[in-house]
Structure formats: structure tokens, C-alpha cells
């Protein structure tokens, strides 16, 4: 006889998994306490990264039945749910979801249902991408600056150049303006490339600017 397991997940400690277990019992599934797994974890966490669910997978055997109230108990999104169901199906475990009428998601009817759900999820993702791209195109057409704003204004960049010409060090200016040394170096190099200034880098700054990382601020 098939063993019946129940998995209940809540996102916060204020929520109670007993509500989900009550729904499963009301649907006619006989639950034994030792075959109930519940945990408190965010729905944004993949099923394989949930400690309680991972322990449950280790306990399940071929022929067992796993019951959940909703699809999001099996993964963080449609793709994760599909991955989880495929894994359970490979192990020979039936998966029943009450929100979908209690259908076994590893059966042909269940897989057809999952196919529809995946198609809707894919449509929503593509629609979101299209809207995002349209918004970016519109913003560019309106002359809006995309991405993070520059750390230094044009006036500040000119002030930096003047101070560098007066002998100020890159490190000192970086501290004064609250930016990275690479930001100061970029401001200097931008003016040099445009032929606006001719500058000589102080000797003590040559080694400092050579090893600056890519995590610096945008100019």
C-alpha cells in the first residue's frame, strides 16, 4: 500500500502549516504525523534549497504519494515546479496538488495541466521582457539617462581637473568627494582624451591607480 506524505510550507512564523494539513485531510488523505513535513521558508527559495523539502525527498520511496495544497509548495516558479515534479516522477513518486483538483501531476492529465501552466508562465515572462524593452526604447528617445547616475557632476569633474593640475593627489580627491580613485582617474583621463588638458600624474599615484578594481563607481 502506498505511503502518503504531506508537505506544508509557510513564509512567516505568524502563519500556521496546520491550515494546509487540514485541507489535505479534508480532501480524504489519511495523514500520519511521522509522514508530515512542514517548514517556514520563503516561496522565493528553490525547492531543492529548502532544508525540510530536501529531507523529505530523502525519505520518499518508489510508490509513495506526496500531497500539497498549492503548486508553489513545490518550487519558486513554474520552471522550478516542473523540475521538482520531474525529479519525483523519476523516483516513482506520485504528486497530488489540491489546488488543481487533486490531480496526480506525474500522470498524463497532470502533465497536460503543467504544460498549460508553463505556457502561461512563459507568455507572462515574454510579455514582461517586451514591456521592459519598450520602456527602455521610449526612455532613450526622450533623452533620459539610463542606469546609475554618474558619481561626479560635470562641474565637479572640472573642479577635480583643476585640483589635479594644482598638485592634489587622486587619493585625496577620492576621499574629499566620497568616490573611488578610479572615478577620479576616469575624470582625468576623459579630459586628457578630449585634449582639454595636459597632465602629469604624480609618482605616488601611478602604483595606486594601476591596481584599482572593477567595483569602482561609474564616472
Residues annotated as catalytic (active site), given as ranges: 11
The pairs formed by 125-132 with CB atoms below 8 angstroms and a separation of 24 or more are none
Which grid coordinates are listed for 197?
588638458
Which grid coordinates are listed for 191?
579630459
The 3-state DSSP class for residue 104 equals strand
Cβ-contact 55, 37 below 8 angstroms: yes
What residues are paired with 39 via a beta bridge?
Answer: 9
Q: How far is CA 194 from CA 29, 115, 188, 190, in A?
A: 75, 57, 10, 6
Amino acid at each position: 500500500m502506498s505511503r502518503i506524505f504531506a508537505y506544508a510550507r509557510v513564509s512567516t512564523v505568524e502563519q500556521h502549516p496546520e491550515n494546509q494539513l487540514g485541507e489535505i485531510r479534508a480532501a480524504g488523505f489519511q495523514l500520519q504525523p511521522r509522514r508530515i513535513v512542514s517548514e517556514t521558508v520563503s516561496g522565493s527559495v528553490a525547492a531543492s534549497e529548502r532544508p525540510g523539502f530536501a529531507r523529505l525527498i530523502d525519505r520518499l520511496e518508489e510508490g509513495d504519494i506526496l500531497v500539497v495544497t498549492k503548486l508553489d509548495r513545490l518550487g519558486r516558479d513554474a520552471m522550478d515546479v516542473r523540475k521538482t515534479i520531474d525529479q519525483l516522477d523519476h523516483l516513482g513518486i506520485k504528486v497530488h496538488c489540491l489546488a488543481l483538483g487533486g490531480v496526480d501531476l506525474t500522470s498524463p492529465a497532470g502533465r497536460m495541466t503543467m504544460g498549460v501552466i508553463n505556457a502561461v508562465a512563459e507568455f507572462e515572462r515574454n510579455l514582461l521582457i517586451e514591456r521592459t524593452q519598450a520602456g527602455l526604447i521610449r526612455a532613450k528617445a526622450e533623452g533620459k539617462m539610463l542606469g546609475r547616475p554618474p558619481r561626479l557632476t560635470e562641474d565637479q569633474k572640472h573642479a577635480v581637473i583643476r585640483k589635479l593640475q594644482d598638485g592634489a593627489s587622486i587619493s585625496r580627491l577620492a576621499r574629499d568627494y566620497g568616490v573611488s580613485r578610479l572615478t577620479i582617474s576616469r575624470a582625468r583621463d576623459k579630459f586628457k582624451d578630449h585634449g582639454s588638458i595636459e597632465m602629469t600624474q604624480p609618482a605616488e599615484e601611478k602604483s595606486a591607480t594601476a591596481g584599482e578594481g572593477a567595483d569602482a563607481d561609474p564616472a
